[in-house]
C-alpha cells in the first residue's frame, strides 16, 4: 500500500475500477453542465442587458425547440447515470455463489472476525486474492460501519440484525479497515487492516490457527451446551422442529405467511423464538436467549445449522463436537418448540 500523496485510495478490488470511472464521469458531467450554465448566464447578462433606461427588448414565448432540448437532454443524461449506478448497486448487493462466508462483529471499539475454518481475528482480516469474500455483519452495542476504502466498499453494522457486504481483492497488500460511523469516544481508534494474500500464502496462514476446529464444529458444541440437542432431534420425534436442510428454505409461520430461513431468521429464532411462531408449534416453550448468548456463539450456532445438510441418514448430533457426516433428507424448520413428542425430551431449550 503506497504512502505517497494520493488523490484517492488504492484501487484493489474487482469493483474499484468501475466505481472510480463512475465517480470521475459524474464529476466531469456535473462540472461541464454547471460551467456551461454559468457561461450561458454570463453571456446573456452581457448580450441582453438594458443599454438605455427606456429600452424594452423583444420577448418570444413558448419556444418549443429550446424547451424540449432543455428538458430532454438533462433527463437522458441523468437517467443514463442512474441506470449505470443502479446496475453497479445490484452487482455489489449480490454476492457470487462461490463467495467465502465470514462473519464480522462490531464492538466498542474493535472488529471481531470469524472464518469458517475456525480462525478468529481482532481488527485484522486475512483474505485470498482472486476469491470473493462474503461477510455477514452485526454489532454488539451501537451502530458501526465496515469501511475498506481501497475496496470502495462500506456497509453499516447494526445491533440486533444482520447486514452483508462482499468484495474480491485483486492485488496483494495491506489495506485500511475503518469504522465510518461515530460510535463513541474511542471511535477514532476503531481501525484495522485487511491483508490480501496470494492463495498459497492464505492457505499457509489458515494452518496456523483454529485450535477449536471449524466454526460449524464450535457451533455444535454450543448446540449441546445450551441443551438444543435435547429437543431438536433428527428423527422428527423431538419437541422442536427438525433443523436438517433448513438454511434458505421457506418456513411457514403461524400467520400463514412464509419466511426464508436465512441468517437473520435463524438468529431471531435463537434469541427471540416467539417473534415468528412456526406453524403447528406453540409459543412460550423455548426460552428467550436474548442477552444470554454472545454474538460470536450465535454465529457459530448458525454455521452449524447451515452444515445440517440433506445427505442421507438420520443420525443425531455427535457428542464429540464433530459435525455429523449425514443427517437425513427431510427439510427442517427452525423456530419455537413443538407440542408433539415425548415429555422426556424436554430440555433447557
pTM of the model: 0.73
Predicted pLDDT at 9: 79
Does residue 298 sit within a domain?
A: yes
Question: CB neighbours (10 Å) of residue 339?
Answer: 10
Q: Is 287 exposed, middle or buried (0-12, 13-18, 19+ CB in 10 A)?
A: middle
Does residue 57 sit within a domain?
A: no
Q: Residue 338 and residue 127: Cα distance in Å, rounded?
A: 42
Closest C-alpha among 224, 229, 237, 296 to residue 267:
296
Does residue 59 sit within a domain?
A: no
Does residue 45 sit within a domain?
A: no
Residue 103's Cβ-side half-sphere holds a number of Cα atoms within 13 Å equal to 25
Does residue 50 sit within a domain?
A: no
Same domain, 224 and 177: no
Does residue 342 sit within a domain?
A: yes
Which triple of cell numbers denotes residue 42?
Answer: 454570463
- Chain centre to alpha carbon of residue 61: 54
Same domain, 150 and 225: no
Residue 1's DSSP bridge partners are none
The residues, ordered by sequence, that sit 6+ positions from 256 with a Cβ below 8 Å of its Cβ are 279
Same domain, 252 and 327: yes
Element (H, E) at 149: none
Same domain, 238 and 100: no
Same domain, 177 and 36: yes
Name the domain count of the chain.
Answer: 2
Residue 288 belongs to domain with CATH number: 1.10.760.10
E strand spans, 250-310: 250-252, 258-260
Does residue 331 sit within a domain?
A: yes
- Chain centre to alpha carbon of residue 107: 16
Give pLDDT tens digits along the chain (349 positions).
455 666 777 899 999 999 999 999 999 989 998 999 999 999 988 888 877 777 776 766 777 888 888 899 889 988 999 999 999 999 888 999 899 999 999 999 999 999 988 888 999 999 999 999 999 999 989 999 999 999 999 999 999 889 999 999 999 999 999 999 999 999 999 999 999 999 999 998 988 765 667 888 888 888 888 888 777 777 666 677 778 888 888 888 888 889 888 888 888 888 888 888 888 777 777 778 887 888 888 888 988 888 886 533 334 444 333 443 333 333 333 343 333 333 333 333 3
Same domain, 169 and 308: no
Same domain, 238 and 206: no
Same domain, 29 and 107: yes
Domain end (from 211, 242, 275):
211
Sheet (strand 153-157) strand order: 124-128, 191-197, 173-179, 144-148, 153-157
Same domain, 156 and 298: no
Same domain, 120 and 176: yes
What domain range includes position 207? 8-40+68-211
The residues, ordered by sequence, that sit 6+ positions from 331 with a Cβ below 8 Å of its Cβ are 242, 244, 245, 246, 249, 310
Does residue 192 sit within a domain?
A: yes
Q: Residue 337 and residue 286: Cα distance in Å, rounded?
A: 6
For 262-286, letters b (16+ CB in 10 Å) and e give: ebbbbbbbbbebeebbbeebeeebb
Domain end (from 150, 182, 211):
211
User: CA 47, 51, 52: angle at the middle one, nearest 5?
Assistant: 155
Dihedrals phi, psi of 46, to nearest 5 degrees: -80, -45
Same domain, 13 and 83: yes
Domain end (from 211, 246, 269):
211
Residue 204 belongs to domain with CATH number: 2.60.40.420
Closest C-alpha among 338, 342, 229, 234 to residue 284:
338
Which triple of cell numbers denotes residue 154?
Answer: 462500506
Same domain, 79 and 181: yes
Amino acid at each position: 500500500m503506497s504512502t505517497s500523496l494520493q488523490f484517492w485510495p488504492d484501487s484493489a478490488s474487482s469493483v474499484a475500477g468501475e466505481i472510480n470511472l463512475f465517480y470521475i464521469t459524474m464529476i466531469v458531467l456535473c462540472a461541464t453542465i454547471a460551467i456551461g450554465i454559468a457561461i450561458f448566464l454570463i453571456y446573456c447578462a452581457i448580450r441582453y442587458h438594458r443599454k438605455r433606461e427606456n429600452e424594452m427588448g423583444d420577448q418570444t414565448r413558448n419556444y418549443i425547440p429550446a424547451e424540449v432540448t432543455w428538458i430532454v437532454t438533462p433527463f437522458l443524461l441523468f437517467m443514463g447515470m442512474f441506470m449505470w449506478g443502479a446496475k453497479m448497486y445490484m452487482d455489489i448487493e449480490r454476492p457470487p455463489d462461490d463467495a467465502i462466508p465470514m462473519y464480522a462483529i462490531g464492538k466498542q471499539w474493535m472488529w471481531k472476525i470469524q472464518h469458517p475454518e475456525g480462525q478468529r481475528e481482532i481488527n485484522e482480516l486475512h483474505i485470498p486474492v482472486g476469491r470473493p469474500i462474503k461477510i455477514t455483519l452485526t454489532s454488539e452495542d451501537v451502530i458501526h460501519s465496515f469501511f475498506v476504502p481501497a475496496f470502495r466498499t462500506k456497509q453499516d453494522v447494526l445491533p440486533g440484525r444482520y447486514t452483508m457486504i462482499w468484495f474480491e481483492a485483486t492485488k496483494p497488500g495491506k489495506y485500511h479497515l475503518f469504522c465510518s460511523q461515530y460510535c463513541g469516544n474511542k471511535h477514532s481508534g476503531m481501525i484495522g487492516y485487511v491483508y490480501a494474500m496470494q492463495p498459497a500464502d492464505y492457505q499457509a496462514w489458515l494452518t496456523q490457527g483454529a485450535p477449536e476446529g471449524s466454526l460449524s464444529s464450535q457451533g455444535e458444541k454450543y448446540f449441546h451446551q445450551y441443551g438444543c440437542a435435547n429437543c431438536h432431534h433428527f428423527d422428527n420425534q423431538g419437541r422442536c422442529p427438525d433443523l436438517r436442510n433448513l438454511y434458505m428454505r421457506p418456513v411457514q409461520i403461524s400467520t400463514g405467511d412464509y419466511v426464508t430461513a436465512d441468517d437473520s431468521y435463524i438468529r431471531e429464532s435463537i434469541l427471540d423464538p416467539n417473534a415468528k411462531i412456526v406453524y403447528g408449534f406453540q409459543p412460550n416453550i423455548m426460552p428467550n436467549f436474548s442477552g444470554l448468548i454472545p454474538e460470536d456463539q450465535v454465529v457459530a450456532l448458525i454455521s452449524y445449522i447451515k452444515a445440517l445438510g440433506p445427505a442421507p441418514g438420520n443420525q443425531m448430533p455427535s457428542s464429540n463436537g464433530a459435525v455429523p457426516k449425514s443427517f437425513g433428507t427431510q427439510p427442517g424448520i427452525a423456530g419455537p418448540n413443538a407440542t408433539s413428542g415425548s415429555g422426556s425430551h424436554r430440555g433447557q431449550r
